[in-house]
Amino acid sequence: MLVVTNTIKIKEGHGEALASRFSADNGVQSIPGFIRMEVWRGAPKEGVEELKISTVWENEEALNGWTSSPAFRDSHRGAGRNEAIVGSSLDKYELLHSRTPDVQADQ
């Protein structure tokens, strides 16, 4: 399993508007191997908000299917011209361990 995080730094007051773009149907949910997407917003610091967009994929091939798709290009069109964005970084992580809560059976 693969997690990709896109950390976007935005001028304070613009985070909600940018975050709402990720709730639109952009085609990612139809890509084979896509598991889920989460959008997290951190507290503003020194006039900057941070969004962390995490996508979970079955494997690298599934991610590559998304990034090479027409839907990916369409959903990212014009993103570099957003004046509210002050920086971003992209990171990938391979899942090594996972835990879930213990579930007790009814007796």
CATH number where 77 lies: 3.30.70.100
> What is the dihedral angle through the alpha carbons of 17, 18, 20, 25, rounded to the nearest 10 degrees?
140
Domain residue limits at 55: 2-94
Task: Indicate whether 101 belongs to any domain.
Answer: no
Phi, psi of 73 (to 5 degrees): -60, -45
Q: What pLDDT score does 66 carry?
A: 95
**Residues whose CB falls within 8 Å of the CB of residue 87, separated by 6 or more in sequence, listed in order:** 8, 9
Per-residue pLDDT tens over the stretch 8-24: 999 999 999 999 888 88
pTM across the whole model = 0.83
> What is the dihedral angle through the alpha carbons of 30, 71, 28, 53, rounded to the nearest 10 degrees?
180
Per-residue pLDDT tens over the stretch 52-95: 999 999 999 999 999 999 999 888 776 667 888 999 999 999 99
Q: What pLDDT score does 105 carry?
A: 67
Task: Indicate whether 107 belongs to any domain.
Answer: no
Q: How many folded domains does the chain comprise?
A: 1
Task: Indicate whether 72 belongs to any domain.
Answer: yes
- Give yes or no for a contact between 86 and 36, defined as CB atoms under 8 angstroms apart: no
CA atoms of 39 and 55, how far apart (whole Å): 9
The predicted model gives 17-43 an average pLDDT of 92
